[in-house]
Structure 1
Amino acid sequence: MPARNRRLIAVVVLVPVLAALALWAFAWPASRTAPRDLPLGVAGSPAAAAQVERQLARHEGAFEIHRYADEAAARDAIQDRSVYGAVVVTPQGPELLTASAAGPTVAQFLQQAVAQQAAAGGAQVETVDVVPTPASDPRGAVLNAAVLPLALAGIVAGAVVTLLGLRGVRAVLALLGASALVGAVAAGIAHSWLGALGGDWWAEAAVLGLSTAAVSGAVAGLAALVGPAGTGIGAALVMLLGNPFSGATSAPQMLPEPADAIGQWLPPGAGTTLLRSVSFFDGAAATGPALTLTWWAALGLGAVLLGSSLRARKTGSEPTPDRREPSAVG
């Protein structure tokens, strides 16, 4: 079969396969969004808390219940990102504490679930948003929308460095410089202009830059080790798994298994979790996602240096053509 026909068949087959993979990656978690062991606090007297816990247990597998002595302890747990919300039993009736900044979708679900339980018992629930989203972005749309552009910026940076033939230290410096600029620009737009982030500007810029470096380093590192195919592998990993499994539009505990765990081990998911912690929770629970991003960036940039070293060693070990000295003329 001529090579031209083989290429035609490859395109005809591969395009539908890629489309099916993309549809599966984005549609499957979206269609299966539901709470799975979602951390939720219950505070109040032992008897009242036990009754609430039994009522919540009717949502089989939905909640992971944490007991707290009083409302103050429950509020601290929410601000520490140990739970997404808490039901506090008071003499006046049940009170629901939420944190829309941790995920507006989760806060909305908790309101519906707890209100249903209370309505069945003839009570009304007062809802208090302990850590709200900014007034300029009440639905958290900006943070959700930032995941894809940051992933694309990292992929483009890694691909451009590879296409320009930058290697070794020069490639690493280019990737770090581009990531730092992306972080500053993204923080300028999301924080300074749109007012969608509420933490320290420099910390947010650092998180956004580190997220970009994790992606760009992975793409460029794979390309340095395995060749041009590495760019496609890195881009597919980020776009087909990292982006839809990030939990940005809800929470990791709202995704089906194993998407919840996979997403948090990839840069988009870790970056989203870290940005929420830095922007709204004073850095609470930031260690895990920060280490994940750092490892991705370090391994990716290390792969860039290693690939350059291997290429230089291979080039240096290639035999040079024999050069015969001209014979002396007697």
Structure 2
Amino acid sequence: MPAAPNRRAVAVILLVPLIVTISLWAFSWPAARIGPRDLPVGVAGAAPAADQLQEQFEQREGAFEVHRYADAGAAREAIEDRAVYGAVVVTGEGPHLLTASAAGPVVAQLLTEVAEGAAPAGTVMPVTDVVAAPGTDPRGAALGASILPLALAGVAAGAMVTMMKLRGTRAALTLAGAAGLVGVAATAVAHSWLGVLTGDWWTEAGVVGLTVLAIASAVGGLAALLGAKGIGVGALLMVLLGNSFSGVTSAPELLPEPVGAIGQWLPPGAGGSLLRSVAFFDGATAGGAALTLAVWATLGLAAVLIGGRRKPEAEGADQFTGQRREPALTS
């Protein structure tokens, strides 16, 4: 057997287990280490009862970031503005928990357990869901599951533009057009059919389209600069890391550090956070995520345009091996 096929066989044998190991690490490790890490919560009411509640939260060092509010109205406003995930309000009848399942059902459940544990023995703590998740998706499963298809759509768009040898402005316009149509189609499914999104329809479509464009342009830009291997690099970055580190199924503050922060710097995590903001919170705290997506999209499209100015490969060259295919000799 020739040496080259032997080397390729060995490479496959070694690479497949390595890819599986890295994938299990990327997806399983954050899920196995979920817990609060500087999770923003609120405490409202008069001292000393409110002070005691704050101390109980702060006893779990590094778990919670406590914000104090004068009354229930201020705490509700903070939840609606996404400044905190929930708040415990001290009233004359005892503590009252305010949550926002739309911000993350896992976080709402966690806060309920912690607040009930901090309440005096024998006290039943009432819970009010200030910003509730839609009844069609009370556990946020559909929203969490939507990020992977968007990441795959972006990778597919970037890869297809490369495989079809579209370059420069034509490639950039193709990526933008594909992303826009994905935004419309995905919103039609998630909002109009399934009812798991409840915000402004066109704003949601724009967020989905921008998310796909950021991913697609990054993949297309890497391929334009690095060749076909750029597709693999982009796919690993967006699907393996971006999707698993996004925190959409829980919350970025529940993931191990610095995974939560890294996930928000990548388009899948930023897109998930932005979609949650516009779908349930009237766009509160949407600026940072929108800027992240815009930067990725701008840099990716710039790379596509720069790559389009490079000299095309010689006619007959194999794009994936870099070897020139010589024409057959004729007599």
**Shorter-normalised TM range:** over 0.9
How does 1:139-150 map onto structure 2 within 5 Å? 139-150=139-150
The answer for the alignment partner of 1:250 in structure 2 is 250
Deviations 1:303-329 (CA, angstroms, capped at 9, x unpaired): 0000111235999xxxxxxxxxxxxxx
Q: Which has the larger radius of gyration?
A: 1
Rounded Cα–Cα distance in structure 1 between residues aligned with 2:34 and 2:140: 17
Q: Kindly, what percent of the aligned residue pairs are identical?
A: 60
Change (3 A) 1:77 1:314: farther
The DSSP-based 3-state class of the residue aligned with 1:311 is: coil
User: Alpha-carbon deviations, 1:259-303, whole Å to 9, x = none?
Assistant: 011000000000000001000000000000000000111100110
Instruction: Report the CA distance between 1:60 and its aligned residue.
Output: 2.5
Aligned length: 314
Which residue is 2:85 aligned to? 84
Give the equivalent residue in structure 2 for 1:47.
Answer: 48
Aligned pairs for 1:113-132 within 5 A: 113-118=114-119, 120-132=120-132
Residue equivalent to 2:24: 23
Determine the structure 2 residue equivalent to 1:166.
Answer: 166
Tell me how far apart the structure 1 counterparts of residues 287 and 28 of structure 2 sit (CA, whole Å): 30
Amino acid at match of 1:301: L
Gaps of 5+ in 2: 316-331
Q: Whole-Å Cα distance in 2 between the matches of residues 238 and 85 of structure 1? A: 31
Structure 1 residues without counterparts, runs of 5 or longer: 316-330
Residue 304 of structure 1 aligns with which residue? 304
Query: What amino acid does structure 2 have at the position aligned with 1:97?
Result: L
SS at match of 1:243: helix
Q: Name the amino acid aligned to 1:251.
A: A
- For residue 248 of structure 1, give the secondary structure of its aligned residue in structure 2: coil
RMSD over aligned CA atoms reads: 1.3
C-alpha displacement of 1:136: 1.3
Provide the C-alpha distance between the structure 2 equivalents of 1:264 and 1:140, rounded to a whole number of angstroms.
Answer: 18
TM (norm. structure 1) is 0.93
Q: Which residue of 2 aligns with 1:324?
A: none
Question: How big is the shift at 1:59?
Answer: 2.4
Pairing of 1:1-330 with structure 2 (within 5 A)? 2-118=3-119, 120-311=120-311
Task: Give TM-score scaled by structure 2 length.
Answer: 0.93
2-structure distance, mates of 1:204, 1:238: 21
CA distance in 2, matches of 1:239, 1:312: 29
SS at match of 1:46: coil
Q: Distance in 1 between matches of 2:12 and 2:112?
A: 49
Aligned partners of 1:313, 1:65: CA distance in 2, in Å? Answer: 58
